[in-house]
């Protein structure tokens, strides 16, 4: 095995996509193993690789890491994307947890029954525009800096950028009332590592399609 982190998950976004975003933003190349069958998943469990019998799995620095939050905080700390002190880390944690709540709604959306999709989409729009995006609009406006915490690029910026793009895929005009977030999106898009990740052919995964949904249900149900 090379020195690159190795990511094991389905060939789609799911709970691994924020890990891909964070590694890419840090300029770290990684390898991926895609689960396609229940047998592959069961073998990982049988071999004792998955601590809680769940993926994502990230092999990094000799560890076999599970639990998305633990993986992300380790990567953020390792690559200096986790603030300069405990207070900045606390802020980053709060912002990241809030964004994760919104992303959970987006994560589950493709698996909702057809009759619930319109209602769930309305819920995503309502939460994004009334609960989550106003927080970050206010933060950016109040301190007038380019980044959310300590005027330095951090995990929180990466996760917010991922969330903005994910919501825009479903609600294209969602940022119309958020000029600070519009400017933030432009700044993030022009950062070299993120710009590279947003190019075709990068490890960034497309929105979930029917094949991805079928694969997930086949493996994990």
Could you report the per-residue pLDDT of 111-122, keeping only the tens digit for each? 998 899 899 999
Under 8 Å CB-to-CB from 38, ≥6 apart: which residues?
218, 219
Decide if pLDDT at 15 tops 90. yes
- Report strand pairing: 31-34 vs 6-9: parallel
Residue among 12, 11, 7 at smallest CA distance from 23: 7
| Token pair recorded at residue 20 | 């891909």
CATH code 1.20.1050.10 region(s) in the chain: 86-190
CA–CA gap between residue 86 and residue 89 (Å, rounded): 5
**Percent of the chain beyond pLDDT 90?**
93
Indicate yes or no: pTM above 0.75.
yes
Instruction: Band the pLDDT of 125: cuts 50, 70, 90.
Output: very high
CA–CA gap between residue 15 and residue 10 (Å, rounded): 10
CATH code 3.40.30.10 region(s) in the chain: 6-79+198-210
| Token pair recorded at residue 189 | 């898009």
pLDDT attached to residue 2: 57
Residue environment code for 175-203, b if the CB has 16+ CB neighbours within 10 A, otherwise e: beebebbeebbeebeebeebeebeeeeeb
Cβ neighbours around 64 below 10 Å, total = 15
Instruction: Band the pLDDT of 1: cuts 50, 70, 90.
Output: very low
Half-sphere exposure of 167 (CA within 13 A, CB side): 29
Decide if pLDDT at 128 tops 60. yes
Residue among 104, 81, 78, 103 at smallest CA distance from 92: 81
CA–CA gap between residue 53 and residue 194 (Å, rounded): 32
Q: Which CATH class, in words, describes the domain spanning 6-79+198-210?
A: alpha beta
The CATH number of domain 86-190 is 1.20.58.220: no
Residue among 146, 108, 154 at smallest CA distance from 127: 108
**Percent of the chain beyond pLDDT 70?**
99
Under DSSP, is residue 85 helix (H, G, I), strand (E, B) or coil? coil
């Amino acid at each position: 095995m090379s020195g690159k982190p190795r990511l094991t998950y389905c060939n789609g976004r799911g709970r691994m996509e924020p890990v891909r975003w964070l590694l890419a933003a840090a300029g770290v190349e990684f390898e991926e193993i895609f689960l396609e069958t229940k047998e592959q998943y069961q073998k990982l469990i049988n071999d004792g690789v998955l601590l809680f019998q769940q993926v994502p799995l990230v092999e990094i620095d000799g560890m076999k890491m599970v639990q998305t939050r633990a993986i992300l905080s380790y990567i953020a700390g390792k690559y200096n994307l986790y603030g300069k002190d405990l207070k900045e880390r606390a802020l980053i944690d709060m912002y990241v947890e809030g964004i994760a709540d919104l992303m959970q709604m987006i994560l589950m959306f493709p698996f909702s029954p057809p009759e619930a999709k319109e209602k769930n989409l309305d819920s995503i729009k309502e939460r994004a525009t009334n609960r989550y995006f106003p927080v970050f609009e206010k933060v950016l406006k109040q301190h007038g800096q380019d980044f959310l915490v300590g005027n330095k690029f951090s995990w929180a910026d990466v996760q917010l950028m991922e969330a903005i793009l994910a919501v825009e895929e479903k609600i294209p005009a969602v940022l119309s009332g958020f000029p600070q977030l519009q400017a933030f999106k432009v700044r993030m898009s022009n950062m070299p590592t993120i710009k590279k990740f947003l190019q075709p052919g990068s490890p960034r995964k497309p929105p979930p399609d029917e094949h991805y949904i079928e694969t997930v249900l086949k493996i994990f149900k």
